[in-house]
Amino acid sequence: MLSILFSTLILIPVFLGFGKITCSLFQIELEGISLRIILGMLSISILFCLLAFFVSLNIFVEVPFVVFGLGAFFYFRGYRGILGVMAGNRILFLSLMAIILFFGSFYPFILDHFGYYVPVISWISKVGLVKGISNLDLLLGQMSFWHILQAGFSSFTDSFLRLNSITLVIFVIYIFERRSWIHLAFLPILFLFSQSPSPDLPVIVFSLILLNEILMGNRNSTMLFLISVFIFSIKPTMIWLPVFSFLYSLFIVNSRLKFILPGTTLLFLFFFKNIWVFGFPIFPLQFLDFGFGWKPNDIILGKSADMAILKTYDLQYSLEEIRRFSLMDYVNNWLFLAGIKGIIHVLLILSLALFLVYAALKKSKLVWLIFISILLKMIVVLWFSAQYRFFIDVFFVIFFVVFWQRISRFRSLMLFFILSFMVGLFFCVPKYFQSRLASFKMTGFLRGFVFTQFISPSVYAWKKYDDYQIGNLKFNMVNSYPFSFDTPIPAISPSFVQEYLDAGIFPQMKGSNLRDGFIWKKITPSERVDIQKILDLREHLER
């Protein structure tokens, strides 16, 4: 907890300092400090992304940014704004902050933390953005703006990767600043994402803030659209937000189209970054194929698409069974999946139906624009991969819009403390819930509270691996575990080694060092034998 507190006391002033510099340079007027903090995060993310094309985001990048941001924070006297937010509510603010630090100090338990988040951050901090990195490990092609931002502060300011916990503190600053107490009801659920650099948390937080700004009548179309594109660049399943902010600016604010210029510029950077690391504009979709030589192999991409279909049905059906589904089977089997995910699917459809009724009764153009934007997002998600984690934000949006300004400060606080207690039990006595929520697989990776959390967050260490070479690529592969979260780079997950063997290919370095990037090539008969020996050896070690 003390370690996260240190990171919070450093990074929030840094973000605010950069936010104030950005406002001064571009003559942007924003009310309050919370939006300036978010603008600072956005600005640093862009700068880090541009730098990462040329250098690694190591300590030599981190220190100047921290010093410069802190200098701007004190020069513009940003501490006055933070102290002003706490005025009259200091005990409550500090209590909420302590609760956030408490939940953020638990062991990470989201599987993507080990299979995707940490490896991506490791690559960016040690090497930078690598052309064709998805040829080494397809999941690395997801390099989100959020992980670029996290990587830039991972050397010493936030070495435990708890940027999400810091984001929740920023969320609390916004709540107190805008007196938008309904947001407190969402905090306990977001605690589930605070131990990992999961992009789900920032996109939910920033979307709720953006919605509140629009409902309060904020007419700064340029800023609203820019932040919505930033949210999209963190997680593309949030496509509804740029659509909504665009429609809002066009049909309600009646803004001229020039408001899209900053956001469109960021969008082009997002596409270019994706093409650089993945070969296509949006991961993992294969559209707008420009024929770049570093794009992933079609067979590997096809297997990824197949896995997305299998995960849509929670791996409860085989691919052959799914392909034999009729249209009615597709709907029924998804809607009524066995376990908690089926319940979530049913609740989603019911929520959308109730929101449609609410929009019809409300007769508000703004509410209709929100509904249309969410519906568009649902169509896109259901078309490509209808996994519950891709539309979890819809529940937050519907609840917020329906109950906006209808829940008092007292009731919001009561709801917060009740839900926080329940989530606290979930974290502290996980075995109780593991036996009752067996279908919710994440519970199997929860660990209880340990007293060392008061000093520093709990983290896992494995560090069991072997090194191999196929062609010109020397790589490491983890032993007796499926994910390479702390395996030195370049690392390939065992599952991908098997996939490469099945596809008859293997990644290779494009040049003499890691920054030159990766391509794939067909393997020779002798290389096929060598790869099979590697897999056989790993299987033997696991016995």
* Nearest partner of 176 among 310, 311, 34, judged by Cα: 34
- The model's confidence at residue 106, banded by pLDDT at 50, 70 and 90, is very high
CB neighbour class for 266 (10 Å; exposed up to 12, middle 13-18, buried from 19)? buried
* Nearest partner of 152 among 1, 276, 51, judged by Cα: 51
Asked if the model's pLDDT at residue 520 lies above 90, the reply is yes
Residue 262: CB atoms within 10 A of its CB come to 18
Residue pair 188/34 in contact by the 8 Å Cβ criterion? no
Helix or strand or coil: residue 491?
A: strand
Query: If you average pLDDT over residues 333-349, what whole number do you get?
Result: 85
Query: If you average pLDDT over residues 200-204, what whole number do you get?
Result: 95
Q: What is the pTM of this model?
A: 0.93
Asked if the model's pLDDT at residue 519 lies above 90, the reply is yes
Q: pLDDT above 70 covers what percent of the chain?
A: 97
Least confident of 33-37, 122-126, 249-253, 538-542: 538-542
* Distance from C-alpha of 448 to C-alpha of 442, rounded to nearest angstrom: 14
Residue pair 427/448 in contact by the 8 Å Cβ criterion? yes
Residue pair 396/208 in contact by the 8 Å Cβ criterion? yes
- The model's confidence at residue 312, banded by pLDDT at 50, 70 and 90, is confident
Residue 365: CB atoms within 10 A of its CB come to 13
pLDDT at position 207, please? Answer: 96
Query: If you average pLDDT over residues 407-414, what whole number do you get?
Result: 92
Beta bridge partners of 465: 478
Note the pLDDT tens digit of each residue in 254-286: 889 999 999 999 999 999 999 999 999 998 888
CA atoms within 13 A on the CB side of 429: 7
Note the pLDDT tens digit of each residue in 435-459: 666 555 555 567 778 888 889 898 8
Note the pLDDT tens digit of each residue in 353-395: 999 999 999 989 999 999 999 999 888 887 777 777 788 889 9
pLDDT at position 381, please? Answer: 80
Query: If you average pLDDT over residues 131-154, what whole number do you get?
Result: 94
pLDDT at position 447, please? Answer: 75
pLDDT at position 253, please? Answer: 93
pLDDT at position 511, please? Answer: 86
pLDDT at position 26, please? Answer: 86
Least confident of 249-253, 307-311, 504-508: 307-311
Alpha helix stretches (DSSP H) within 324-466: 327-335, 340-362, 365-384, 392-403, 409-428, 430-434
pLDDT at position 425, please? Answer: 87
* Distance from C-alpha of 340 to C-alpha of 159, rounded to nearest angstrom: 34
Note the pLDDT tens digit of each residue in 19-31: 999 998 888 888 8
Residue 260: CB atoms within 10 A of its CB come to 21
Residue pair 135/294 in contact by the 8 Å Cβ criterion? yes
